[in-house]
Chain A
Amino acid sequence: EAQVTQNPRYLITVTGKKLTVTCSQNMNHEYMSWYRQDPGLGLRQIYYSMNVEVTDKGDVPEGYKVSRKEKRNFPLILESPSPNQTSLYFCASSTQGTGGSGANVLTFGAGSRLTVL
């Protein structure tokens, strides 16, 4: 089954304790992205990756790191989590679409709900 898998799905942690949220896709997609979703703010992009070893900042990258060493994996790292990073996180992937093809349809993971105390 084609899917994006995120882990953990739920996590409660404390301020300053490093954590990693893993994301893996089995569709051979070039593009992967992390979003956070907060009430009233919609989905905001944290980081994205166009391909292996190519990553770039989204709208809200502060406090996060990512890496793309393999095509299928795109982990999100919170080096020193703070309470304002309490949120629902989604990983997504797509093919590289151009020219109005609509091929860049995002497939989302199930989400990871993170609480930082």
Chain B
Amino acid sequence: QKEVEQNSGPLSVPEGAIASLNCTYSDRGSQSFFWYRQYSGKSPELIMFIYSNGDKEDGRFTAQLNKASQYVSLLIRDSQPSDSATYLCAVDVWDNNDMRFGAGTRLTVKP
């Protein structure tokens, strides 16, 4: 079992819809959870991080964490074509920079 698993996609949504990206992790010691966005040929850039159970909102993005289910998700509201990218879930296992990445989910937002 991979430590951090994501559906590779591609996930396709129409413009204006909600895109839902999911991530599961195996290590119950995991403390901090990150979502990075990576455009084709570019480096990953942080969207947001979360470390408490529940929801965290930042503009059109909402991260949701459920430690009991070992599940973290990212919702993108009012999806735009510019949101088309690969989204990487990352887990800092012991909160000591032991960062584990999922393989990423490719999202396409169609105009």
Contact = CB atoms under 8 A, between A and B. Distances in A.
Interface residues of B, number: 27
A100 B91 CA distance: 11
Contact of B46 (A40, A99, A105, A110): A105
Interface of A: 31, 33, 35, 40-45, 48, 50, 90, 94, 96-102, 104-106, 108-111
A45 to B, nearest CB: 7
Given A40-B103, A42-B102, A42-B104, A105 B97 contact: no
Contacts, number: 69
Contact of B97 (A44, A90, A94, A110): A94
Contact of A50 (B31, B36, B97): B97
A33 B44 contact: no
Nearest to B94: A98
Interface in B91-106: 92, 95-97, 99, 101-104
